[in-house]
Amino acid sequence: MDEAYLSIRWDTVHKHVHAEWRAFANSAEFRAGLTKGIQAIRDHHAAAYVSDSRKVKVIVHDDQTWIKEKWLPLAKQAGLKRIGFVTAETGLGKLCVEDVAAMCADGGLGSRTFGSMEAARKFVAEVPVSGP
């Protein structure tokens, strides 16, 4: 996926799904993007996912509920084991992403927030991954 607001690709070097949030996404775009992420997890038999969320400004409550009730079970069913979120240094977006990361951890995924891509990659690499 390569849209103005989001890029999702398979990182062949680090063997994880890589999502980069580039700009504001409305609820429909946000959910469509996360659904594409599920497809990438399936396509690559990925156990690891890194979300570069530094440009996320807000995740509305309804979308957080959707993540918890819909996305999280689908991601786990697809084989996801760990997700690392790279957050901005400050701001509402950082707080929203931290809430989502905690929700994912409470839902049974290895999930943490980080200040750098390197730290997030190291964290998700701690699980065996496979893929093309």
Let me know if residue 131 belongs to a domain: no
What confidence score (pLDDT) does residue 131 get? Answer: 46
pLDDT digits (tens, 9 = 90+) for 16-40: 999 999 999 999 999 999 999 999 9
Residue 24 burial class via C-beta count within 10 angstroms: exposed 0-12, middle 13-18, buried 19 and up: middle
CATH of the domain at 78: 3.40.50
> How sure is the predictor about 11, in pLDDT bands with cuts at 50, 70 and 90?
very high
What confidence score (pLDDT) does residue 132 get? Answer: 44
Range of the domain at 56: 6-124
Let me know if residue 132 belongs to a domain: no
Beta carbons within 10 angstroms of residue 46's beta carbon: 26
Let me know if residue 93 belongs to a domain: yes
pLDDT digits (tens, 9 = 90+) for 64-113: 999 999 999 999 999 999 999 999 999 999 999 999 999 999 999 999 99
And the tokens for 31?
A: 């959910």
> How sure is the predictor about 129, in pLDDT bands with cuts at 50, 70 and 90?
very low
Let me know if residue 129 belongs to a domain: no
Let me know if residue 68 belongs to a domain: yes
